[in-house]
Structures are given as C-alpha cells and as structure tokens.
Amino acid sequence: MKEFLNLLFSGVAPVVFLVFVIYAYIGLGINLLVDILSRDKFSINSPFKFSWKYWWQDNNKRLIISLLLIPVIVVLWKMMIGGDLNNYTAFMIGWTGDAIANLLKKRGVIPNADAK
C-alpha cells in the first residue's frame, strides 16, 4: 500500500500533498476574491448589484476546472518543472491556475453566463 501511495503521489507524502493542495486552494480563493472585488459593476455584462447566483452561473465551469486541476498539477509538479514544491509555489499554483482559467473564460474558451 505504501508503494502504491508513493507512486500515486509521485513520491510526495500524502500529508504533504494535502498541505500543498490546501495552500493551492487558498491561492485560488484569494484570486477569486480579487476578481470579485475588481469587477466593473457598470458593465453591461454583469448585474449592477453583486449576486452570488449570477457569480456562480458565470464562473462555475472556471471554478470546477480549477478545483480539479490543482491536485493534478501538485502531483505532476516535480515531473513537469523538476524542482521541489513548497508552500509558496503551491499557493501560486492555485493563484495562477485560476488566473489562467479566468483568462480562458474572458477569451470565450470557457463559456460565460448571460447578463441578467
């Protein structure tokens, strides 16, 4: 079983993997908060008053993609980059992963909700 976990997590201890994923999710959450706070309420594409329902409809695919890719990136980090992962790097994986998903959403690769 220990060998299976070692192969599954690419040599990273499961507890360390969990800590890195938590730091990445914190980075994701802070990036989402920055995105919410920097929205243009006078835009014709979003409601004037902030609505969690509209936010979820507009960002659900982006959020699901980010949530699913973070653990995969954390596991494959050493193979892709070659360096060791630390808390700061895990945080930046969450931050930049969601920023890339947001960019894809703005470019139309990930669909948006219609303004209501």
pLDDT digits (tens, 9 = 90+) for 2-50: 888 777 877 778 888 899 999 999 999 999 998 888 877 777 767 778 8
**pLDDT digit string, tens, across residues 91-108:** 999 999 888 888 888 787
**pLDDT digit string, tens, across residues 47-75:** 778 878 888 888 888 888 889 989 999 88
Q: What is the pLDDT of residue 90?
A: 93
Q: Tokens 């699901």 map to which residue?
A: 64
- Count of Cβ atoms closer than 10 Å to residue 57 Cβ: 14
Q: What is the pLDDT of residue 116?
A: 42
**Where in the chain are the domains?**
2-106
| pTM of structure | 0.81
- Element housing 58 (H / E): helix 52-81
What does DSSP assign to residue 111?
Answer: P
Helices (H) and strands (E) in the chain, counts: 4, 0
Q: What is the pLDDT of residue 24?
A: 95
Q: What is the pLDDT of residue 115?
A: 42
Q: Which long-range contacts (CB under 8 A, 24 or more apart) does 93-96 make?
A: 93/24, 93/27, 94/23, 94/24, 94/25, 94/26, 94/27, 94/28, 94/29, 94/31, 94/66, 94/70, 95/27, 95/28, 95/30, 95/31, 96/27
Residue 114 has pLDDT above 70, yes or no: no
